[in-house]
Structure formats: C-alpha cells, structure tokens
Amino acid sequence: MESVVNKIAKFSTSFSLDEDEFEENLKLKSEEVRNLCTNDPKTFVNKFSHLLNERDCNILLESCNDSDTQEILNLCIGRISQSRKNIIDSGVKNRRYFYILTSLDSYFSLENIKQRYPLLFNQYLGKFGMEDRESVASLSNFFMDRLVKHEHKKMLNKEMKQELEILLDQDNFVENMNIDTDEQKNFAFLKKELYSLVFQEFISGNDKTFDYSKIDNVDTRENSTLISSYAEDKYFDSEVSETCGSDEIENDDL
C-alpha cells in the first residue's frame, strides 16, 4: 500500500517548489494520503482512481475489507483491462487491414474466397454462372445480424471503406468472367458486398482457415513501414488510458 500512497502523494505535490520545500511538502502529503487510505478507503479510491493502474488496484484490494471499496476497485481493474485490450485490438486490426491491402490478388482473390466461403459466394455471385446458387437464408441472416448491424458499422470507418471501394473499383481487381454488359453493374455491387463481409470476417478473426499469428504477433519491417505511412489516418483508433478514469469519479486534488 505504501507504494500507492507515495505515488499519489507525488502526483499531488507541486514540482514548482525547490528541493527542500518539495521533500517537506511530499512528507505532509504522503501522511495525508495515507490517513485517508487507511481511515476512509472508499473516499480514497473515489478521489484518486484516475491515478491508479491495475497493479495499484490489486495492492489496495489485498488490504481492503470494505465491500463498496472492493467493488469500485474491481470496476477500475475492469476498465483498465478493457483499455489495454483496446490497445491490442486496434494494433491487431490495423495489421489485419494492411494484410488485406497487400493480399487482394492472392488470399483475397475471388477464386480463393469461393473456396473458403462457398455458400456465401454462391449467394452473392452464384447467379452469374460461376456455380449453382444454394439456399442459404439462415447463413445470410447470421452474417447480416453479426456483421452488418454491429461490426461492419463499428469497425470499418469512413477512410477504410473509401480506400477499399477504390481498390474494388480498379479494373485489374475484377477477374475476367462471362457477364453480360447489363449485369456488370449488379455484379460490381454484389462483389463489393461480398468483399465487405469477407474483409470484416477476416479483421474480426473469424477466418478459421487463416493462421493469424503470422500477422498479429509479428511486426515485420515491411508491415511497420506500411503502418507508419498510414499513421495519420489511423484506421482503427483507440482512446486508451492505462489508469482508471470515469465521469462518475471525482478527480479533485486533496
């Protein structure tokens, strides 16, 4: 607990003081923080939760017997863990997105998509003579509910969708197929819809045929350079803090 007290006392002590004044002020502030932590742990946690990290919360939990304070500390730990997860998620999603950009002619070719998602492929493009269409209403509902209504809108932001549309519109991206001129527009639209779902499945980690460890856990020089070149765009941003903060928690100094 002493490490937490010292940390908060330092945050609450003015660094504009000279060294002697700072040390004296720090002692007084440490005593004040320690007394509050010992005598009124709930107020202490409410007041300083924005300065606590997960380790601090666990240290305080070990010496805390008050159920209300324990609940607040556990809530803080949950928020901090979620923040850390958001950092990981945004980095992983960006790496997966950049993999898509560099694999449009290979892993994400129409032929490979047809092999990995035959039912979905037939539903969208089967009528163009590529394969007989199959009844996949339940699969369609599944994708629409899980992807379009939630993940698709949440994770594919405006910049990413615009860039993907540009890529999908390029002439060299459309494979040569026997399609009547009147059907080309419909084909292009359905192809975009298919790719949007497939891309989202991939970014969400739902492609069971792919070894995500190849890109999730390895920052290659090429990938790092590519991500740096897009740094200002930040396709998957995350607003993250390694401490616990809440609109409901008072952040006033002592």
pLDDT tens-digit readout, 95-123: 888 888 888 888 888 888 888 888 888 88
Do 18 and 130 fall into the same domain?
no
Q: In this predicted model, what pLDDT tens digit does every residue of 42-58 receive, in sequence order?
A: 888 788 777 777 788 88
pLDDT for residue 78 is more than 70: yes
Which residue, of 84, 115, 149, is where some domain finishes? 84
Instruction: Choose between 208 and 181: higher pLDDT.
Output: 208
Count CB-CB contacts under 10 A for residue 252.
Answer: 6
Do 101 and 187 fall into the same domain?
yes
**Contact call for residues 96 and 226 (beta carbons, < 8 A):** no
**Contact call for residues 125 and 194 (beta carbons, < 8 A):** yes
Is residue 245 included in any domain, yes or no?
Answer: no
Is residue 45 included in any domain, yes or no?
Answer: yes
pLDDT for residue 226 is more than 70: no
Do 115 and 55 fall into the same domain?
no
Q: In this predicted model, what pLDDT tens digit does every residue of 182-201 receive, in sequence order?
A: 567 777 888 888 888 888 88
Structural domain of 80: 1-84
- The reported pTM is 0.44
Of 79, 98, 102, which Cα lies nearest the Cα of 90?
Answer: 98
Average pLDDT over residues 129-145: 42
Do 48 and 103 fall into the same domain?
no
Do 92 and 139 fall into the same domain?
yes
* Residue 31 pLDDT class (50, 70, 90 cuts): confident
pLDDT at 168: 57
Do 101 and 22 fall into the same domain?
no
How many structural domains comprise the chain?
2
Do 52 and 132 fall into the same domain?
no
- The single residue listed with the structure tokens 């007989």 is 132
Do 113 and 184 fall into the same domain?
yes
Which residue, of 84, 108, 143, is where some domain finishes? 84
Instruction: Choose the weakest-confidence range: 64-78, 112-126, 232-246.
Output: 232-246
Sequence-separated contacts (24+) of 113-118 with Cβ below 8 Å: 113/194, 113/195, 113/198, 116/198, 116/207, 116/209, 117/198, 117/201
Do 107 and 207 fall into the same domain?
yes
Do 11 and 66 fall into the same domain?
yes
**Contact call for residues 254 and 13 (beta carbons, < 8 A):** no
Is residue 251 included in any domain, yes or no?
Answer: no
Do 99 and 195 fall into the same domain?
yes
Is residue 244 included in any domain, yes or no?
Answer: no
Do 79 and 141 fall into the same domain?
no
Average pLDDT over residues 209-214: 86
Is residue 252 included in any domain, yes or no?
Answer: no
Which residue, of 60, 84, 108, is where some domain finishes? 84
Instruction: Choose between 87 and 40: higher pLDDT.
Output: 40
